[in-house]
Chain A
Amino acid sequence: MSSNPVLRLSRISKRFGPLRANEAISFDLKRGEVIALLGENGAGKTTLMNILFGHYVADEGTVEAFGKPLPPGDPRAALDAGIGMVHQHFTLADNMTVQENIALGTQSLWRMRLDRAAARRRIEQLSADFGLAVEPAATVSTLSVGERQRVEILKALYREARILILDEPTAVLTPAETDALFRTLKLLVAKDLSIIFISHKLHEVMAVSDRVLVLRSGQLVGERETGATDRKELAALMVGQEVKPAEVSPVKLGAPLLALERVSTTPYNGAGLDKVSLTLTAGEITGLAGVAGNGQAVLAALIAGIRRPTGGSISIAGREIADWSPRVALAHGVARIPEDRHAIGSIGDMSVTENVIAERYRSPRFSRMGFLNWKAAGRFAEKLIADYDVKCPSPEARIRLLSGGNMQKLILGRALDPDPAVILASQPTRGLDVGAVAYVHRMLLEARDRGAAILLISEDLEEVLALSDRIIVMSKGRLSTPSSRGERSIRELGELMAGHSGEHSDHAA
């Protein structure tokens, strides 16, 4: 490992209005080094990488790549300087082949003929060198998520990237795919590439990085050699205090509340459901693990009421409900915490007050004769802000201005306030900082102890393991048989997630 830096960020600052997204952040990246950039959502990781990659212009500070200053605000210059970025959401053309995607934009428009054979040879060479197995002639739409990520990495390598930025790369991977990715990273580093690995998962950071930089509220609060630190210290740095894991009391099962009977749906953000049966019981958290795109999205949408089944039945407390919709779900005491709090869970340009009454504005508490009772609504908003410790300037502030954690607390408060019988929590802690995650977990466990039936859908296996009394794995639109707390090992669950086992059954749960 040579000691001269390939990338140097000097005192990068960036403000959005009163918000200091980055404040005087400096660090060096050495040749052949893996840096982990750790921090809660809103800590400034993404802003920093966007500045580095030229999407934003820093207010102050400079970026140097290989000893030469990088002109600000020019993604092209970043690419030319050998910086490659693998975004969390892939940027591939689905209807084109792997090879076309990789070669796209690398050859002059004025060339009469593409040199396909040479491109293919290079891609195959790179695949073999770095363990990125993928068929160049395959159409991208037929690939798995893990394969698509490999294509993204190949794309960067094909452009001769010497510095690779990976933004939350493991969020969409199975444990086995994650292991494969980490092996690839080791091979890359062995060839003297340098890597910035953005994550909020501590165990991954510990597994792959040489050095960890911790960001908090836009500031670089800690820099540790990975070998000389541990998860506890990093977690404390991230949130500024030590975090205790949630304590789980013994389960007290009640009556079955919500039941899906052989329910099928059309595909929606991934696979559709294929004759899924599932019963949620009072006093129990059912955890649904799985790789993204295997039907979790449509299951959540179905229970939330925004999707209808094409077959099968939904019943609540034993009574079949024919006309299922968001209103009907709410009326039957089903609380929903949606996966996407920005697109679906909130109306960004409306105020906190207007958002917290959204599910109940028609009730006599908040409206009479078609007129809204803004006083009652305002009191309710203030109560939630106080009870859930939400940091926001005022109940009149647009909810868009709140951080992800504070927004999620409000959505949680809105859902839990009426003391719901059934709770659907879909990726409830995605993108939240450690402190907010612990808070959300505590609230869910409290609701369970009060006797709510909870379905927790999460791509974060650790979260599912920590909270669930019963774990079900979803794969290709079907459910595995359930296992109780601690019954299956992570490896067994991982195999179910990858769909390798024939354990799926129609009458799973």
Chain B
Amino acid sequence: MRLEPKPAPSLAVTLLFPLAAIATTLVLTSILVLAAGASPLSVFYLVAKGAAGSQFALLETLTRATPLIFTGLAIAVAFRAKLWNIGAEAQLYIGGVVTVVLGTGALPLPSVILIPVIMVAVMAAGALLLLGPAVLKTRFGVDEVVTTLLLNFIVLLFVSMLLEGVLKDPMGLGWPQSQKVVAEAQLPRLIQGKRLHYGFVIALASAVLVWVVMKKTVLGYEMRAVGLNPEGARFVGILVNRALMKTALLSGGLAALAGFSEVSGLKGNLTLDLSPGYGYTGIVVAMLAMLNPLGVIASAIFVAGIFVGADAMSRAAKVPSYIADVMVATSLLTMVVAILLTRFRIRWR
């Protein structure tokens, strides 16, 4: 068996392959569903219904998609420049920390000023957190996969320390949680009485902005060039290390916004279970979107839908909701194979 390169795929093929990948995922996960003693068709129907079958379900899916859009964008930006940021989880938590530090009454400002101030500070904090690994990579050749991944654990322990110490809510009955942010620091709900909040709108706007940056600006051009061929980029006068630094700042900032959006829009305070791995799932989201910022919106909603739908399904069909993790993980694998197949043809023999 060998791989032979293919010419550039057409747009139709580019769109078709993700669908084929999803179809393959469904077939593969059917095996586990059958093993759990349920009918795959009814289980997938229940997942789809749980994800989008009612207004409540749909809004829940979009709420869950919001942090995934931010982390997905963060990963998409970084991976374009071949900066392997596995630390979106840590950047998300730092975003949450800054949100509660500034949002629990330290700054007596009206909402229209306070929220932008917090967002800028959050992005700066996330950016700085990724700058460390980026400097180590460009100066000393330290692998950023290792440094960013390990920072996730360091930051989580740091947050744990804060929540047991200076940030601990005195009225929290001893739970490791922060105070609630003040009303001025909260993102309003999109629909009265529902959980979906303005963080979703900010996420959509961020996706459009990132798309503009990547497609239309000098910075995006430099980032893509550095990712595709660093030697070639250096030859034509692109300052490769500087471009990687800018990438790190943008990526870290975007991931930190996920933490801000979750605290300010949904949870109200910081806890150690702010993120069920949104930073890691962001990698799946970005890969499913083939690193396209606008595609991230669709893939984030898709992945969120699987998680939300699987919760509803497990209550009805008695198949454990872990099937969602399997589906998301499998879809990443099938997608990677699909991307490979758009660029190469397999020859058996």
A residues with CB within 8 A of B: 16-19, 56-57, 72-73, 304-306, 325-327, 330, 336, 338, 343-350, 354, 358-359, 361-362, 367, 370-372, 374, 397-398, 401
Contact = CB atoms under 8 A, between A and B. Distances in A.
Interface string B205-247: 0000000000011110100110011011111111100000000
Interface string B101-139: 000000000000000000000000000000000000000
B235 A306 contact: yes
A358 B236 contact: yes
Contacts of B232: 343-347, 358
B4 interface: yes
B5 to A, nearest CB: 7
Given A57-B347, A358-B236, A372-B221, A347 B229 contact: yes
A347 B225 contact: yes
B6 interface: yes
B8 interface: yes
Contacts of A397: 8
Which 6 pairs show the lowest CB-CB distances between chains A and B? Answer: A358-B236, A17-B7, A326-B237, A327-B237, A347-B229, A347-B232
Contacts of B219: 370
Contacts of B234: 306, 326
A306 B280 CA distance: 37
A48 to B, nearest CB: 15
A401 B221 CA distance: 20
A401 B7 CA distance: 7
Contacts of B235: 304, 306, 326, 336, 338, 344-345
Given A354-B221, A362-B218, 11 more contacts: A16-B7, A326-B236, A327-B239, A343-B232, A346-B232, A347-B225, A347-B233, A350-B225, A371-B216, A372-B216, A372-B221
Given A367-B218, A370-B217, A325 B237 contact: yes
A375 B319 CA distance: 55
A493 to B, nearest CB: 30
Given A57-B347, A304-B235, A344-B232, A350 B224 contact: yes
B231 to A, nearest CB: 5
A50 to B, nearest CB: 11
B349 A73 contact: yes
Nearest to A18: B7
B5 A16 contact: yes
Contacts of A304: 235
Interface residues of B, number: 26
Contacts of B6: 16-17
Contacts of B224: 350
A349 B347 contact: no
Contacts of B218: 361-362, 367, 370-372
Contacts of A361: 218, 221
30 contacts: A16-B7, A18-B7, A56-B4, A73-B347, A305-B237, A327-B237, A327-B239, A336-B235, A344-B231, A344-B232, A344-B235, A346-B229, A346-B232, A347-B225, A349-B229, A350-B228, A354-B221, A358-B232, A358-B236, A359-B236, A359-B237, A361-B221, A362-B218, A370-B218, A372-B218, A372-B221, A374-B216, A397-B8, A401-B7, A401-B8
A338 B236 CA distance: 10
Nearest to A336: B235
Contacts of A16: 4-7
Nearest to B224: A350
Nearest to A56: B4
Nearest to A343: B231
Nearest to A327: B237
Contacts of B229: 343, 346-349
Nearest to B239: A327
Given A326-B235, A344-B232, A73 B2 contact: yes
Contacts of B2: 73
Contacts of B347: 57, 73
A491 B349 CA distance: 50
Interface string B1-23: 01011111000000000000000
B349 A57 contact: yes
Nearest to B222: A361
- Pick from B6, B224, B232 the residue with the most CB of A within 10 Å: B232
B118 to A, nearest CB: 26
B345 to A, nearest CB: 9
A371 to B, nearest CB: 5
Nearest to A354: B221
B55 to A, nearest CB: 40
A353 B51 CA distance: 43
Contacts of B237: 305, 325-327, 330, 359
A306 B217 CA distance: 25
B332 to A, nearest CB: 22
Contacts of A56: 4
B81 to A, nearest CB: 13
A347 B5 contact: no
A57 B4 CA distance: 10
Contacts of A326: 234-237
- Pick from B5, B216, B218, B239 the residue with the most CB of A within 10 Å: B218
Nearest to A329: B237
Nearest to B5: A16
A19 B5 CA distance: 12
A20 to B, nearest CB: 13
Contacts of A354: 221, 225
Nearest to A400: B8
Contacts of A336: 235
B312 to A, nearest CB: 42
Contacts of A19: 7
Contacts of A345: 232, 235
Contacts of B238: 358
A398 B8 contact: yes
- Pick from B6, B7, B219, B228 the residue with the most CB of A within 10 Å: B7
Nearest to A325: B237
Nearest to A328: B237
B239 to A, nearest CB: 8
A371 B217 contact: yes
Nearest to A401: B7
